[in-house]
Structure 1
């Protein structure tokens, strides 16, 4: 949810400040020794003070509501530098005052006064500089990741205008407003382009690869737009409603907010920022390990492919990723060069329904390709897709463009998460599954029950299946 993403940013600022404070504490002792020309050691008293600082600084930051996490955070959520820096200075000064007062009352003579002054100046300077750099670079960094949310604002013109104005002023929400959608017959009053009418909403979501829809509308029109809300729900799109409640069949309903605006939100995908970050870190680590493994095995795989049949080593194809974003997927080539042209002649032998193509003993597969597929070695280059963020280690199967063109709305829901190298379908005996609706059910089951532990379970099952050479 958008408010959870905001909370994640706020907490990350606090964590950054605490880590930098601990680092400058140690640095201050080094600088003090250089200034004084002696070698004061990091004794037990300094360790005790460091522990106190690590606790006192975040408390002070919370107390003065520096990043909108205090008791009055609903009124002071802005993360602009003009709002942060004055409160940060006050918070650091207060924490330092409490710290020095405690040392005075304890009558300790071990902690150097010169050290305290160096620590205060260094800490304040580093925190101010870090916040400036972090705030300036955060928007650019996050815009390159899936953390940034692409949203469509829908509703009546007057309410849409007010909401768009608020969202434009609060850029710390890290959202990108694609455009607006209105009730029939209303003209656009906002600064964003009008994309269409409510009945066009599902098509507009697909066309613009939207992540969220924010609906703000008068009470009397709620029943009128309810069918479109349910269609968005069926697609797995997160919906934020500024008022009233709908009886959703799939999505989890929760009260949240976009900045200070309260909304009722239905999300059929887990949006907990901490779990998303953990999943991404696991993907990065797995991607790096996978690419190292790919590099080693390429010494044997590349010559085998080249000697077996004419053509390149890698197969590149456009696939459809999260919420309709297109990307190039990479695999080791396992088919002959004219595989796509031959596919049209083989459609009558398709073992799946019309939504996917799968054929046992596919004549397009080369001799080396059969071995690579049997051992899943053909998928090793996809670790690059994982590292770049287009895919995850675990997710749903990445469909082709022609498959997505045949989708009904409820099929679109399987695209509400990143596609994965492995997933529920791959570890559930995919050779025995010939009905596309069963594939969708497995993907939806993964989405509804997703957790980090489920990902680990699928990874271990995938490794076991590869070792046994099953499921291909």
Structure 2
């Protein structure tokens, strides 16, 4: 029987509980420092805040994936992660106090001391718990005996990789070489216990829980060896041949019953996508409210300056080439699309992959320039975000004629939902005239994507708009 490693957030429930206890201990000691040794939970105000702290701490742990890869982190990285976790928790607690209007009644000194003690306690407890878990795994009784089946040329690197990444989970029983019939001394301190002909005999007579077949794709593993291992109830691990051309992001999963090796420019967890979509819905709702308010003033102004509909819609290409209809406040005259062909010679963007020009004559004088400068023309796209066609942060969706000019590597920028704002918009916006630079920035955004990066781009977008460096 083989126990599969738990990949969910529950896997690190021990660290989560430990962190929760550290927060409560920091809260109690801070209360004692400020008010003397009394029971803090007897006071309704402090009891309620303590309970809210627990929920906030769990929420941050879940959505921020605070303990992902915790056993692999070094001391400095752990200190940084601890500081981020504790700071975010305390900031959210502070926000709760502000919104519930209890900040003036709650001691600021207690909150400050709680924050400082929380960082210290949490960091020390994490280090102690990691040492305990690693030491425990190194005890022979907790290990699983693993036989490595490989070839002479690969044996050294396989042993080094297992020692580096298994954190003491395995007792390395030995090495069996598929290209050698005789036993040799050892490789990296691990004895060579069998050749291809006596692998089964060794497993039959010795302590072996699991067998790891790590052989090159060119060498066939005899089916009889695999069948015999299965007959003995030994757990079998087969190394999958990865393709370097697919990049680093490769995972094994099941597709319609077939085990497959999947690759993508960026692989994310369902939890991360849930949070990103939740941010989009929240932002879309707020944005639609502001769009409605803006429409009260902009719709009459647009119609007075340029008779016709106040809203503009156009088919754009979305994620991976999926067409959708985008919405904007109309900032151009009604014949803008027809006049675009005449103005292509004045396009500032090389190769005509996008259209940007200074003093575009198609823009409605006065109101058109104002709403483009302030980016108010983009506000109706909050409806696209709410519908799921777009995201708050993503890549600029191309028009149909732009899409038809795309080369192969240009399509990579559409591997994510198009966004109201994005990396290139906050890195120069209309000042960027090289489309390849746009592609590079968008590709970097996708490959480096994180929720933290989205928040940073949203913040920078607000700063860009306030500075008046909006679209031309």
Q: State the TM-score, normalized to the length of structure 1.
A: 0.48
Larger radius of gyration: 2
Tell me the TM-score normalized by structure 2: 0.48
